[in-house]
Amino acid sequence: MTTAPDARTPSDAALTDRRNFIRFLAASPVLTPSAVSALVGALSAGASSGALAQSYDVLRAPQQKAVDGVITAPEQALNVFDFEPAAKKALPPAHYGYLASGVDGDETLRLNHEAYDDIAIRVRRLIDVRKIDTSVTLFGETFSTPIMLAPVSSQGAFHAEAEAAVARAAKVKGNNFILSTVGSTSIEDVIAERGGPCWYMLYPTDDWSVTEALVKRAEAAGAPAIVLTVDRQGGRNTETLFRFRRDDTRDCKGCHAGGFANEVSRKPMFDDLDVSKVTNLYGTGMTWEFVDRLRKIVKGKLVLKGIVTREDAEIALKHGVDAIIVSNHGGRAEESLEPTIRALPEVVAAVDGKIPVLIDGGIRRGTDVLKALALGATAICIGRPYCWGLAAFGEPGVAAVLAILQREFETIMKQVGATRIAEITKDSVMVRA
């Protein structure tokens, strides 16, 4: 059987297309001669389209159509940092200041992230990592990723759909979500949007009857864990917030008129509660005896968020705590200059595998996730990054942040030769002195 002169067999067509593509590569202004040579070699050897996609990353990069350097759609983001300028542009100055602020000079906030630069990753070769499993199990529930969403208060200040949008993104990506007591959305609505339970972060107030009511409502809604925040006992000086507030010309007294009742009047978890005896949200007089009292009424798991020392971790074990989150409130609790990733190893050593240890603060890259897991964290929590996505683009922004971090994490996980979370160990990293 003969072939018509103007027709090509599939193999001939592929060869011609490959030659044309090689000519294009050779003329490309974005590739170095060495890169062209490597790609030509791969193509000449009949490299698969999958291999090409892995090698020629410039073809896969999103086109940037930023306005004044700010992305205008979530798919334009190259990393989670791209969402912060977009969030700043979208928010009133005081609202952005609330999201951006640490305390005092923001040094602890800054160090939370920069401390990850002191940890090098030890990569391994010649391990088949085509299939990996990033799932983790906490309190009997399996999540597809160790990347959790930390509690962030008042998300209605960032987007009209607030925590409901975050919950929907978490559902799609399989991330666990912790709701704040002073969230803008009720726990019932968050669980409905996520299609599954979420953890509940408790600000206990200084009125036990209110504390008890909050816990009972959260557990009745299906929260399997109550997360008691213990790092706000000393107050804080949020200078960055105060500076941005100076530039906000709106009349904010309608929402911030002072007094506890007004502060929580738009927070649905306080609906129908008598808060007349409450003087502060954080229970600043809490002691370990308070933890014991809380332990008696919490039917599910009790987690302490804000433990950063060996001593307190050891005490927490004695008081029946089920897990610890190493946290300094994202650098918003105190100007200690102690980043959470540096505090993590001593807390992990203190609990000695008896309970899970999680961490938040400064995690901005997939490599950060791996470093924290290698130093003993069971899972990690992010706060600001997903709120940047929420403020900038709503639910799609949150989903994009989670997708970027997961993609980066899977990439570095493969590069260290780990096919499952348990294979990420202290031998996967090296802490520089």
Domain boundaries, the chain: 10-59, 74-431
What pLDDT is stored for residue 358 in this prediction?
98
Question: How many CB atoms are closer than 10 A to CB 219?
Answer: 18
Report how far residue 176's alpha carbon sits from residue 385's, in angstroms, rounded to the nearest whole number. Answer: 15
Q: What is the mean pLDDT of residues 418-425?
A: 98
Q: What is the pLDDT of residues 105-119, one digit of tens each?
A: 999 999 999 999 999
Q: Which of 71-75, 106-110, 245-249, 403-407 has the lowest mean pLDDT?
A: 245-249
| Higher-scoring residue by pLDDT: 186, 23 | 186
Closest CA to 106 of 306, 305, 325, 330: 330
Q: Is 159 a catalytic residue?
A: no
Specify the DSSP element, H or E, that contains 44: helix 33-44
Q: What are the residues whose beta carbons fall under 8 Å from the beta carbon of 268, sequence distance 6 or more?
A: 183, 184, 185, 186, 189
Task: Supply the DSSP symbol for 64.
Answer: P
Q: Report pLDDT for 10.
A: 40
Exposed, middle or buried by CB within 10 Å (0-12, 13-18, 19+), for 254?
exposed
Q: How deeply is 61 buried, as exposed, middle or buried, from its count of CB atoms within 10 A (0-12, 13-18, 19+)?
A: exposed
Q: Is 229 annotated as a binding-site member?
A: yes
- pTM confidence score: 0.86
Q: Is 329 annotated as a binding residue?
A: yes
Note the pLDDT of residue 68. 82
Sign of the alpha-carbon dihedral angle for 254, 256, 259, 263: positive
Interacting residues of 109 by C-beta distance below 8 A, sequence separation 6+: 102, 103, 330, 331, 332, 362
For the chain, the first-to-last Cα distance in angstroms comes to 73
On whether 203 is known to bind a ligand per the annotation, the reply is: yes
Percent of the chain scored above 70 by pLDDT? 85
3-state secondary structure of 32: coil
What is the pLDDT averaged over residues 292-301?
Answer: 98
pLDDT tens digits, residue range 231-282? Answer: 988 888 999 999 999 988 888 877 777 788 888 888 999 999 999 999 999 9
Going through 73-171 in order, the beta strands assigned E by DSSP cover: 119-121, 136-138, 141-143, 147-149
Q: What is the mean pLDDT of the chain?
A: 89
133 is in an annotated binding site: no
Least confident interval from 26-40, 155-169, 212-226: 26-40
SS3 248: coil
Share of the chain above pLDDT 90, in %: 77
Within 10 angstroms of residue 47's Cβ, the number of other Cβ atoms is 15
- Regarding predicted confidence, which is higher, 30 or 355? 355
3 confidence band (pLDDT: 50, 70, 90): very low
CA of 319: how far to CAs of 287, 296, 323, in Å?
11, 11, 11
Q: For the beta carbon of residue 393, count every other beta carbon within 10 angstroms.
A: 25
180 is in an annotated binding site: yes
Higher pLDDT, residue 59 or 260 = 260
Q: Is 361 annotated as a binding residue?
A: yes
- Residue 387 makes CB contacts below 8 A (sequence gap 6+) with 87, 99, 152, 155, 158
- Residue 39: its pLDDT value, please? 47
Sign of CA dihedral 97, 103, 106, 108: negative
Q: Are strands 119-121 and 429-431 parallel, antiparallel or unpaired?
A: antiparallel
Which tokens in the block code for residue 78?
Answer: 């190259």
Distance CA 39, CA 398 (A): 35
- According to the model, what pLDDT value does residue 58 have? 65
Is the model's pLDDT at 14 over the cut of 50?
A: no
Q: How far apart are CA 78 and CA 401, in angstroms?
A: 10
**pLDDT at residue number 44:** 43
Q: Provide the β-strand partners of residue 200.
A: 179, 226
The SS3 of residue 181 is coil
Residue 2 pLDDT more than 80? no
Note the pLDDT of residue 12. 44
What is 74-431's CATH superfamily? Aldolase class I (3.20.20.70)
Catalytic residue among 95, 113, 159, 329: 329
Q: Is 57 annotated as a binding residue?
A: no
Ligand-binding site membership of 236 (annotated): yes
Res. 194: pLDDT tops 50:
yes
pLDDT of residue 43: 44
Q: What are the CA-CA distances from residue 41 to residues 16, 142, 144, 282 (Å)?
A: 16, 44, 38, 63
Given this model, what pLDDT does residue 259 score?
A: 82
> 178-180 and 199-202 as β-strands: parallel, antiparallel, unpaired?
parallel
State residue 20's pLDDT score.
Answer: 53
The tokens describing 163, both together, are 């925590």
Name residues whose C-beta falls within 8 Å of residue 185's C-beta, 6 or more positions apart in sequence: 155, 156, 162, 163, 164, 167, 179, 268
The model's pLDDT over 328-367, given as tens digits with 9 standing for 90+, comes to: 999 999 999 999 999 999 999 999 999 999 999 999 999 9
363 is in an annotated binding site: yes
Is 384 within any annotated ligand binding site? yes
Return the structure tokens found at 177. Answer: 């979500």
Q: Above 50 in pLDDT, residue 45?
A: no
